[in-house]
Amino acid sequence: MPEDKKTEIILEFSKAMAARDLEKTLSYLTEDAVWVDPSGTYKGKEVIKSHWSTGFRSMKDTKFVETGNGIIVQGDKAFFEYIACGITQGNKFETPAMWAFEFTGDKIKNIRTVYDRLLMAQQVAKGWPAKPLINMIVRQSEKAMK
């Protein structure tokens, strides 16, 4: 399949994700797809469906804004660098993220999602003890990096 077709699939996939259209999102995956993200590894379309049916209920106004390197396709592999934005737990979030795709024909066989979980937690945590604990972890991490 031509690389520009894979770019088109990635854009359509991201639109389906942003629209929280689970069936459309799944239509881009192989039956035995594997999706790895910071919360775990999900093997097979049905397991991925179960994971995202929960995820889609907890997020609103989701957008994936192309940034940095954007979409790069090389052979059966593709990468999409973006800013993930939306609302979860009643709070807005915005975090840099990346999807790494592996294609089989015109379907996505593997996806790896990377994003800054700590930055996201810092934006959505509220109240005691969550907010002070997250801020303490951020301060300690920043201190350790100096």
Edge-first strand listing for the sheet containing 59-74: 40-43, 29-37, 107-115, 91-104, 77-88, 59-74
pLDDT category of residue 67 using cuts at 50, 70 and 90: very high
CATH for 3-115 is: 3.10.450.50
Q: What is the per-residue pLDDT for 39? A: 92
| Whether residue 93 has pLDDT greater than 90 | yes
Q: Report how many helices (DSSP H) and strands (DSSP E) the chain contains, helices first.
A: 5, 6
Spell out the domain ranges in the chain: 3-115, 117-146
Q: What is the per-residue pLDDT for 1? A: 81
Q: What is the per-residue pLDDT for 77? A: 98
d(CA 1, CA 20): 27
Out of 39-43, 52-56, 99-103, which region has the weakest mean confidence (pLDDT)? 52-56
How many Å is the Cα radius of gyration of the chain? 16
Where does residue 4 rank: exposed (0-12), middle (13-18), buried (19+ CB within 10 A)?
exposed
Average pLDDT on 58-72 reads: 93
The secondary structure of 89-121 as a DSSP string is: TTEEEEEEEEEEEEEETTEEEEEEEEE-HHHHH
| Whether residue 111 has pLDDT greater than 90 | yes
Q: How far is CA 60 from CA 4, 25, 48, in A?
A: 30, 16, 19
Out of 69-78, 93-102, 130-139, which region has the weakest mean confidence (pLDDT)? 130-139
| Whether residue 50 has pLDDT greater than 90 | yes
Q: For residue 126, which amino acid is it?
A: K
| Whether residue 2 has pLDDT greater than 90 | no
Q: For residue 19, which amino acid is it?
A: A
